[in-house]
Structure 1
Amino acid sequence: MISVVVPDTGPLISLGLVGRLDLIDRFNSQILITDAVKTELLEGRPSVPEREALAGWIAAGGNRLRIVETPSGSLLQRAFDLLKYVPEDRLDHERRKVRRELRNAGENSIRDLAEEMRGGLVGDTTGLVLFEDRRVRNMDFGPRVRRLSTWSFVLALEALGVIPSAEGLFDEIERAGRMASRIVFDRCGADAGDDFAESYDMTGLATRKRDDGDGSGGPR
């Protein structure tokens, strides 16, 4: 049984861009987002079209969604806080500079969280990390965590019948202006299960699949 789901910045941007954050919501698990990932989503990318959807999704998460403080996230937030003292005509330049200098903050915060997860999952509890950045593949989350790329995640959802087509969903993401990584990566720790179906809410999917015919299964 998956007890926690940890999405990195990439999957949230990709799914938020096409209105499919519900694919993460359907896990019957706590969702952990690091503070750096939240900052990257809501402050580091102020003009992207998915920002409003992501902000609303985070705000609506309630007790099931928890923001985890990390050293990397604190550093990133301090850098963005200092931008309030920058003159308006230099703000865009300085914001880009912060993002460039701290471009790995989200992944580093995931690494910080990995330290906590290695000792925090016991008994029959397991975790799932969703990612697009290649660096996450080499992080050690311990034996009770499964790492899944966004592409492998949507392939699994297609196999479960949750979405009609992984290819169709990624085509929609690309049409929206994002070239999401199609890395196939699905790695389970020694004590992590390889099937998340029992932790996934399938309610209403049969009706939705009949109503949606574009391959993504998403709302229009």
Structure 2
Amino acid sequence: MLRRLVAACRIVSLCVAVAFAAKSGVGNLDRGDTRLLISECKLHALLRTQCAYVLATAFHETGGLMMPVRETFATSDDQAIACLDSAWAKGKLPWVTSPYWRQGWFGRGYSQLTHENNYRTVSIKLGIDLVSFPAKALIPEIAAKVLVMGLKEGWFTGKKLSDYINLGTTNFIGARHVINGTDHAGKIAKYAVAYDATLEQGGYSVM
């Protein structure tokens, strides 16, 4: 009886997640560069739940586009700098102590790679010069590696995806610490549940 109840709850949860995905656009595996990100997750042997969180992060950080973007969603570097300058002048960035963006270190990619030290770290990790050419962080294939490897290996905060999501635990809310503390953690967790459902339906496997 208990097993049947658990199975029934699982089916209900799956149906709810799929319905949420259909309504919000989250969970669409053909949206933007989603398939590229899934391939990168498989290349690095991420669990299905870990891949779901990678996709959820990309969905949030790119505003649902699932394509590499500049911070502020600007269409050029100059526009991004101007937008950030304007926001800072108006006091809309109270957590910022210095205008990091003026030297080109504003957010780029699926994960919004930001600040010179992060660009330098990623350059060393990937063997690609993003310090001299930060715009390379917008190249999908490079941006995908930054997101997937960064979350897996803990490049951004020292916290790894496996600290929160592994074979024994699926803590989609806590996993936000891998990128940015608790910022929008609940919202992104809902995205992850939706992606996990569609990945399961699609037969995601790293074997």
Task: Report TM bin, short chain.
Answer: under 0.3
Q: TM-score, normalised by structure 1?
A: 0.26
Higher RCO (C-alpha under 8 Å, 6+ residues apart): 2
Q: Which has the higher helix share?
A: 2
Q: TM-score, normalised by structure 2?
A: 0.27
Q: Which has the higher strand share?
A: 1
